[in-house]
Amino acid sequence: MRLPFLALCLFALPVRAADPPKPVDFARDVRPIFAKACASCHGSEKQKGGLRLDRKADALKGGDDGPAIVPKDSTKSPLIQRVTEPDADKVMPPKGEKLTAGEVAILRAWIDAGALWPDDGSAAVDARDWWSLRPLQASGIRRQESGNPIDSFVRAKLNERGLKPSPEADRRTLIRRVYFDLTGLPPTFEEVEAFAKDASPTAYESLVDKLLASPRYGERWARHWLDVVHYGETHGYDKDQPRPNAWPYRDYVIRAFNEDKPYARFVQEQIAGDVLFPGTTDGIEALGFLAAGPWDLIGHAEVPESKIDGKVARHLDRDDFVANTMGTFQSLTVHCAQCHNHKFDPISQEDYYALQAVFAAIDRTDKAYDADPTTAAKRLALEAKRKAAVATIAGIETKAGPELAELDRKLAEGKRTTNGAKRPEYGYHSAIATTPDAAKWVQVDLGASVKLDRVTLRACDDDFNDIGAGFGFPVRFKVETADDAELTRPVIIADQTTKDHANPRTAAVTFAAEGKAGRYVRVTATKLAPRLPTDFIFALAELEAFDLAGKNVALGRGITALDSIEAPVRWRASNLTDGIAPPGPKLSADELAKLTQQRDERLKKSLGDAGTKALAQANADAQSADEGLKKLGPPSRRAYIGTAFSGTGNFIGTGGKPRDIRVLPRGDVTKPGKLVHPGAIAAIGLPFALTPQHTEGDRRAALAKWLTASDNPLTWRSIVNRVWQYHFGRGLVDTPNDFGKMGQPPTHPELLDWLAVEFRDSSGSFKKLHKLIVMSATYCQVSTIDTTMAKVDADNRYLGRQNRRKLEAESVRDSILLAAGKLDLTMGGPSFRDFVIEKPEHSPHYQYQLHEPEDPKSHRRSVYRFTVRSQQEPFLAAFDCADPSLAVEKRNQTLTPQQALALLNNKLTLSMAKHFAARVEKVAMDDRGRVTAAFRLAIGREPTTAEADELAKYAADHGLANACRVILNLNEFVFVD
């Protein structure tokens, strides 16, 4: 609503206001007025001028032009001004009955009394008045004299509820628990026994240190991270094409955990590693975070951005960037503000689109980079050198004045390609020679002797060996004419046989013939063009011979040649006079050369000796940088990341120029609204540092810094809560991706803040945080359920015991392979595929049932498995593995008959059960000994007598492999106390 300044127009109302009721009651007196007169335009459906008057928070906040209600001051409240506005075009409401004097009086009295509005659960007036948005409270620590502060916090809460902690678990339980927790794999029987017997008081701490130092730790914890960021290795959607270069991001995450990368840096690299840490491998590979989620190939590659479907696809793509970033690092559901302001949290629709604007220039694509940091550094230095030289050249050349600018303009115009697309009929191509000095010729028969004005040669354009324009154009050659086909008495039109001719690329090369006459025009190459280091050729797209009237008399005429490869349609002799040549510049090579020469002279004249010398130096620098870059060759590796790029066809990218981002009412791409600038969540109140002259990357860098600010309250709370959840099976906040009003409040707010501060101030070290947690008495408690305590705290939210955990899908699979002696611990590199792709050319079908379970490549840890979106691997899916199409903050835990069937009958279990049996068969002479060995390997303890007896009997009746299969299906195999 527009609120013009009315200071001079205010005059007394014509009627005396009736006395309002005293005191005014909002619900009884005010709300009905808003509902009757205002709600149709300023309510839940429409918010004209950004104002809504049906909810406290929004009404008191005001509209696009600021507050409408100024509590305690009705005369300064634009709301009152508008309902009393004398101008019939401006008064509110615009249609229907005006407010009565009595109603106006009620509104005045209500505002003057302070605009009291009972809390209606709408967003709080102070947007930050919510636990997760308040500054971190480090002061609330209750330190005991000694011991782990975590235990103090937990015990305080237990005491409040009359609960008590449980005793410490025994050594055998502890080692199995902490092994699975930190590495995702079980300890060996021998390790369990040694630890159980180790009397040292530091035995547990040493064990924890050992596990945190193990590479298995990074593999285990990277998998948790990959769940949250919905990492997948196919695009999803229609056709679900694979992403063969997604894995560098997975390896980056594993490496980051193993190297204990500080969290702030970890976050920054994933948003803007290319900008903040240029030249590093991590800075590129980390950007796989942005590209982790699904991508609509059809909506991007088959539909241009100008079509509605293309716009929808790109909007959904940015939505995924925003949701992934803010969900992962902030535990905020920003994506809810796509169609309207967030209904519960202080996130405006404009905030949401400001975040889209941060990612407005990027798309998902493969990026080439140097896997070797030395090469990357070299490339970076050369690129910098080149950039500096180019800048120097530009600086010097401006001194040459407007004449130079004019020459530059002419040159640019002359180099502009004439219209036309490249055609498949390339030209004439000689046979291949092994040395450059074999002479080759091709000639045209004009049919009769013609007096010629000029002859024009046009070169080919073939990408073979990255040669491109000028392909096969001879280095030395001559042009002759004669009346006989053997050219016994040739007339020379051009002789370029004594020095190398510059490659014209696609520019025309014209020679004046000055009326020389002949029936045959022949081009003889005396020094051939290289095609490969060992191959030399002579190729020409077109030969034109113009008579004195200016007509090309060669067009369509017959060709003879010494030799020709004749590989139609691209290569054949007749292509030489078919009138088809690659599109080239407007001016001929000669004319361009002339202009260039003029330019050189102009420079020399205006720059003087010193200037000319400096320019020569800068040109030499640029050239040497170019040569250096050429020598480095193209980058060695590709990673699928979020980056600005320039593509072809419909998927053209942005080339780094951000797309305009506008607020989309109701998320509708056909109704773009207000243009927005990059930013983050305004209500959090942290600066978003961005200058007006920023680059695309600066936007992401600004967001990365905003996210990792030490006083961003969400970042640090969010991550310590995630870590806690994976250690205990439940977060201190049970909705790890939603710290807003629809999420759960923390059970231990002081502990959460203490951990957040501790983590932030220990340079964001995950390993220190893990150690702190797993060394706590809270972590080391037994998981035995105390029935009395369970009555008070059935869900164990207050941690009067540890939680028994059901193994995740990956741990089940890896443990099966480990028990069978088949687990391959090779780290990193391209993912293994446990499927066969059928119909790869169109819509790949990922056929898991066709995979051979004995394939050793598939015996690596599950984190290295190629994760398909359209069809999840059935075994892992049965065990609730993360669906890569959605952000998985916490996995479901189900116990279904399908899960039982998978563990019993999946070909992996069956094949491993046989290997497992073969493994234990060797270690003992009888079934009892063998099943005992199997039990130790799979369960990590000695079987009881009864267990050993039963299993031995079963093995005797049904075979050792079946006994091993039973062991892999035990409850104890998939639950950890």
CB of 904 to another protein, least distance (A): 7
Region of 132-140, 350-358, 705-713, 969-977 interacting with another protein (CB under 8 A)? 969-977
> Under a CB-based contact definition with an 8 Å cutoff, are residues 463 and 529 in contact?
no
- What are the tokens at 426? 């390339």
Pick out residues in 571-600 that bind another protein (CB under 8 A): none
Q: Which long-range contacts (CB under 8 A, 24 or more apart) does 619-624 make?
A: 619/389, 619/393, 621/385, 621/386, 621/388, 621/389, 621/392, 622/386, 622/389, 622/390, 622/393, 624/385
CA-based nearest residue to 504, from 442, 592, 617 = 592
Per DSSP, the residues of 265-312 read: HHHHHHHHHHHHSTT-HHHHHTTHHHH-S---HIIIIIS-TTSHHHHH
Q: Which is nearer to another protein, 502 or 790 (CB)?
A: 790
The minimum distance between CB 479 and another protein, in angstroms, equals: 46
Considering only residues 906 to 925 of the shown chain, the ones binding another protein according to CB under 8 A are 906-907, 910, 913-914
Task: Give the whole-angstrom CA distance, residue 44 versus residue 63.
Answer: 14
Q: Which is nearer to another protein, 742 or 825 (CB)?
A: 742
To another protein, the closest distance from the beta carbon of 906 in angstroms equals 5
Instruction: Output 509 or 732, the one with its CB closest to another protein.
Output: 732
Helix/strand/coil percentages in the chain, nearest 5: 45, 15, 45
| Residues in a beta bridge with 468 | 462
Print the binding letters for residues 658-697 with another protein: x by CB under 8 A, - otherwise: ----------------------------------------
The 765-804 site mask, x for binding another protein (CB under 8 A), equals: -------------------xx-x--x---xx--------x
Query: Strand 440-458 vs strand 542-547: parallel, antiparallel, or unpaired?
Result: antiparallel
Distances (CA, A) of 421 to 578, 581, 614, 649: 15, 10, 41, 14
| Dihedral angle sign, alpha carbons of residues 404, 409, 412, 418 | negative
Rounded Cα distance between 564 and 441, Å, is: 10
Site for another protein in 854-873 (CB under 8 A): 869-872
Site for another protein in 61-100 (CB under 8 A): none
Subset of residues 710 to 739 that bind another protein, contact rule: CB under 8 A: 730, 735, 737-738
Closest CB 782 distance from another protein, rounded Å: 10
In the range 741-760, which residues lie near another protein by CB under 8 A?
Answer: 742-743
CB of 922 to another protein, least distance (A): 18
What is the smallest separation between the CB atom of 127 and another protein, expressed in angstroms? 17
Residues 280 to 319 in contact with another protein, rule: CB under 8 A: 294, 296, 298-299, 303, 307-309, 312-313, 316
In whole angstroms, the minimum distance from the beta carbon of 192 to another protein comes to 17
* Alpha-carbon separation of residue 68 from 98, 119, 136, 856, 885 (angstroms): 18, 19, 33, 70, 43
Nearer to another protein, 240 or 285 (CB): 240
DSSP conformational letter for 167: P
**Nearer residue to another protein within complex by CB, 146 or 787:** 787
Q: Which residue's CB is nearer to another protein, number 255 or number 311?
A: 311
Footprint on residues 888-907 left by another protein (CB under 8 A):
889, 892-902, 904-907
Structure tokens at 890: 């916490």
Pick the binder of another protein from 358, 615, 704, 966 (CB under 8 A): 966
Q: Quick one: tokens of 494?
A: 């051009």
Q: How many residues bind another protein (CB under 8 A)?
A: 92
DSSP-H helix ranges across 762-808: 766-774, 777-780, 787-792
Which residue of 142, 556, 711, 975 would you call a contact of another protein, by CB under 8 A?
975
For residue 795, how many other CB atoms are within 10 A of its CB?
A: 10
- Going residue by residue from 227 to 266, which x/- string records binding to another protein, judged by CB under 8 A? ---------xxxxx--------------------------
Which of 138, 580, 877, 918 touches another protein (CB under 8 A)?
A: 877
Q: Rank residues 544 and 738 by Cβ distance to another protein and give the closer one.
A: 738
Between CA 45 and CA 107 the distance in angstroms is: 23
Q: Applying CB under 8 A, which part among 178-186, 497-505, 828-836, 881-889 lies near another protein?
A: 881-889
Between helices 945-958 and 960-968, what is the axis angle to 10°? Answer: 130
The yes or no reply on residue 806 touching another protein (CB under 8 A) is yes
Question: How large is the greatest C-alpha to C-alpha distance in the chain, in angstroms?
Answer: 121
Please state, in angstroms and rounded to a whole number, the distance separating the CA atoms of residues 877 and 809: 8
123 to 182, contacts with another protein by CB under 8 A?
A: none
CB 621 within 8 Å of CB 396: no
CB of 700 to another protein, least distance (A): 23
- One symbol per residue from 31 to 50: x for binding another protein (CB under 8 A), - otherwise; what is it? --------------------
Positions in 931-960 near another protein (CB under 8 A): 946-947, 950-951, 954, 957-959
Task: Identify the residue among 336, 354, 545, 773 touching another protein (CB under 8 A).
Answer: 336
Does 880 contact another protein by CB under 8 A? Answer: yes
Cβ neighbours, 10 Å, residue 882: 27
CA dist 780 and 181 (Å) reads: 12
Count of CB atoms within 10 A of residue 801's CB? 22
Q: Can you name the residues that pair with 47 across neighbouring β-strands? A: 42
**Interacting residues with another protein between 412 and 451 (CB under 8 A):** none
Measured from the CB atom, the residue of 598 and 885 that comes closer to another protein is: 885
Using CB under 8 A, which residues numbered 518 to 537 contact another protein? none
Helix H, strand E, coil C: the string for 622-636 is HHHHHHHHHHHCCCC
Which residue's CB is nearer to another protein, number 488 or number 892?
892
Footprint of another protein on residues 629-658 (CB under 8 A)? none
Min. distance of Cβ 358 from another protein in angstroms? 21
